Structure 1
Amino acid sequence: MSDRALPERLAELVALSSGDSRADTVLRLTCGRALSLPPLPIPVDLTDGRSDEEAVLAAFAEQFSTDVTGVGDNQRQCFLNAFGDRAFRVVVAVFIADFVPRVWAGCDALGLGKPGVVSEVSWDADGDPVEKLLGGFVPAVARLRELDPVTTEVVRLRGAAAHNCRLCKSLRESHALDEGGSEDLYRQIADFESSEELTKAHKAALRYVDALIWTPSDIGESVVHGIQKHFSEKQAFELTLDVMRNAANKIAVALGADAPRVTDGTERYEVDEAGQTVFA
């Protein structure tokens, strides 16, 4: 997969719908406000008040963007009650509205432009955002190989901790372990600034991960300088998309579906050449 194809995939994600154009507007405006970033393009204007369902959606989307770990059982159940069989598709639409603006903010700060931005959106009301995101975009990002496996895994584990994804925290990627990753190294991610084993490049990447997750509207010059010093443009683009790929765990966390596959310790997995996750 060439990275040139990924901006096209981002544009496709932007054009997708939750299945309800009013809901798309609500969730996109809500995520934009929560992030203090320009929202994704909206399909319709809201000319009247919100319905009860839309109020539930707005509250859910705001918590999803601000800190997904704060989605509690009551809010989750209210969301599921409101959207029923559509719930998973709607959560994926919320994720797209939450994370594509972060990608654009990160790339823009790094001088990479805003990949996937188009002057006019060709809305795709019938496309399946679940398939486009999880079946298309996520594996395409996983097929990128500009970054070394240890850096990729360090970045993944930082995102797993930020979103408190129990499944993600319980997994270890085999290629990274084979190339020098270890539990001793991974334990240092939590307090990476004081780590003696994480490299300067790792620390620069982790500062960028934190900025994309917690302060995407304010990515500091020192963070940008660190990425530009230690990574090529292709690596920086892959790093940005890796943070988005990893953050798809927010979907499972929000729905309470992030239980680990093992009850004790960790489980090995690897990302194959097709970008698919293969468990040991």
Structure 2
Amino acid sequence: MNDSPVSGAEVVADGRHAAMVHAPRAAASLDLLEHTVWGALEHDLVDLVDLAARLCARAHGLVPLSRPATLGAGPWGDLDASLWRSFTGLSDAQRVALAFAEQFTTDVSALTDAQRDALQHSFGDAALTFAHVLYVVDVVPRARIALDRLFGASPMVTSPPADSALAADIWAAIQSNVRIVPGLDQLDPVTSELVRLRCARAHNCRICKSLRSFTAFEAGADESTFDAVDSYETSDLSDAIKSALAMVDAMVWTPGHIPEGVIDNVRAAFTAAQQVELVLDIARHATNKFAVSMAVDTPHVEEGFEVYLVASDGSTSYGLERPR
């Protein structure tokens, strides 16, 4: 099902409003992610995730996800989360989790097997849930600031969305967002695929790097097009695609300090609906961070690439023949 923009020439007021106008279902799923993260936590993990959220945000100069007032204040108050190593009262398991979160947000590809093993040893089956939660607290603020930079600062929203059926299931909320965002269809297939590949390269997601889009091939892309992602600045790719890939880099590496030139170029190259789609695509593709973080990103193929196709309902088919 396509996530069609609201009809008419409504003027958007800010980043959240732009998302609701141009991608209402995807925007609602992003809101749900933001609130589900708290409902999905066991009581003894709330303070840890609150600190991890502030740590991720602090690393990039972002505003962290708001801890609901109903959960009360955390034990570390408004202390600078980046100084967590000096905090008293942290358990060994909490320190393991915070070190994991710190690497997750700065460069997930540099997480070590020792860090994964330590998290697994400390949290058992909850380690994967913690990685899912980290994705939300790490990536949603990146999407929020990118939308705000493009469309204007949004007011702080702390009330839960009206549809809270998934409030205690973080994985279901993530999967809902993953299925809905591909329904956006304002960007051309080649731009969308190159954005996905740039995200895959940035996070060094092995399975993501091994995939190629059926629709991008149909639209005229070939392997030389895909290879151009690595050095796109000096490539023959269009200025519009280069501006989209620059936004990928900014959201991955410097989300709190997106260069004004990147914002200007994206605005010049894309419609408002396309700008929203670009940001939400980048956030969706960052789901590869929890796959990489837990080393569950093994490709389906041992060499070469695999062709995939995302259907209108968000489901994905793999192992297709390349279109002729």
TM-score (norm 2): 0.81
Instruction: Give me the whole-angstrom Cα distance separating, in 2, the residues matched to 1:154 and 1:12.
Output: 28
- How far is 1:120 from its partner? 3.1
- How far is 1:137 from its partner? 0.5
Instruction: Give me the whole-angstrom Cα distance separating, in 2, the residues matched to 1:236 and 1:69.
Output: 27
Larger CA Rg, structure 1 vs 2: 2
- How far is 1:256 from its partner? 0.6
Measured against aligned partners, the alpha-carbon deviations of 1:41-60 in whole angstroms (never above 9, x if no partner) come to 12443326222221111111
Q: Could you tell me which of 293, 300, 306 is aligned with 1:261?
A: 300
2:29 alignment counterpart: 9
1:78 alignment counterpart: 118
2:73 alignment counterpart: 45
Which runs of structure 1 show a deviation greater than 6 angstroms over 4 or more consecutive aligned residues? Answer: 122-125
Structure 1 residues 186, 114: closer, same or farther in 2, change over 3 A? farther
1:160 alignment counterpart: 200
Instruction: Give me the whole-angstrom Cα distance separating, in 2, the residues matched to 1:132 and 1:92.
Output: 10
Q: How does 1:209-248 map to 2 (within 5 A)?
A: 209-248=248-287
1:128 alignment counterpart: 169
Q: Which runs of 5+ in 2 are unaligned?
A: 5-22, 77-88
Give 2:174's aligned amino acid. L
- How far is 1:183 from its partner? 0.5
- How far is 1:30 from its partner? 1.5
Q: Which runs of 5+ in 1 are unaligned?
A: none
Instruction: Give me the whole-angstrom Cα distance separating, in 1, the residues matched to 2:129 and 2:75.
Output: 25
Give 1:145's aligned amino acid. D
- How far is 1:74 from its partner? 0.3
Query: Which has the higher mean CA deviation after the structures are superposed, 9-18 or 32-41?
Result: 9-18
Instruction: Give me the whole-angstrom Cα distance separating, in 1, the residues matched to 2:50 and 2:121.
Output: 20
- How far is 1:38 from its partner? 1.2
Q: Could you tell me which of 32, 37, 55 is aligned with 1:30?
A: 55
1:54 alignment counterpart: 94
Instruction: Give me the whole-angstrom Cα distance separating, in 1, the residues matched to 2:189 and 2:75.
Output: 49
Instruction: Give me the whole-angstrom Cα distance separating, in 2, the residues matched to 1:66 and 1:11.
Output: 24
Instruction: Give me the whole-angstrom Cα distance separating, in 1, the residues matched to 2:218 and 2:185.
Output: 16
Give 1:66's aligned amino acid. T
Give 1:95's aligned amino acid. Y
Q: Could you tell me which of 229, 233, 254 is aligned with 1:193?
A: 233
- How far is 1:6 from its partner? 2.3
Instruction: Give me the whole-angstrom Cα distance separating, in 2, the residues matched to 1:94 and 1:65.
Output: 8
- Residue 205 (str. 1) matches residue 254 (str. 2): no
Percent identity over the alignment?
Answer: 37
Measured against aligned partners, the alpha-carbon deviations of 1:104-163 in whole angstroms (never above 9, x if no partner) come to 110011015549x524347979511011102x0111011111111100000000000000
Instruction: Give me the whole-angstrom Cα distance separating, in 2, the residues matched to 1:81 and 1:36.
Output: 31
- Residue 87 (str. 1) matches residue 115 (str. 2): no
Query: Which has the higher mean CA deviation after the structures are superposed, 263-272 or 78-87?
Result: 78-87
Structure 1 residues 187, 193: closer, same or farther in 2, change over 3 A? same
Structure 1 residues 126, 273: closer, same or farther in 2, change over 3 A? closer
Q: How does 1:132-143 map to 2 (within 5 A)?
A: 132-134=173-175, 136-143=176-183
The alignment partner of 2:257 has SS state of: coil
2:291 alignment counterpart: 252
How many aligned positions are there?
277
Measured against aligned partners, the alpha-carbon deviations of 1:224-270 in whole angstroms (never above 9, x if no partner) come to 11100010111000000100111100111000111110001000000
Aligned partners of 2:32 and 2:167 also within 8 Å: no
- How far is 1:87 from its partner? 1.4
Measured against aligned partners, the alpha-carbon deviations of 1:12-39 in whole angstroms (never above 9, x if no partner) come to 1111233331222122111111222111
TM-score (norm 1): 0.94
The alignment partner of 1:59 has SS state of: helix
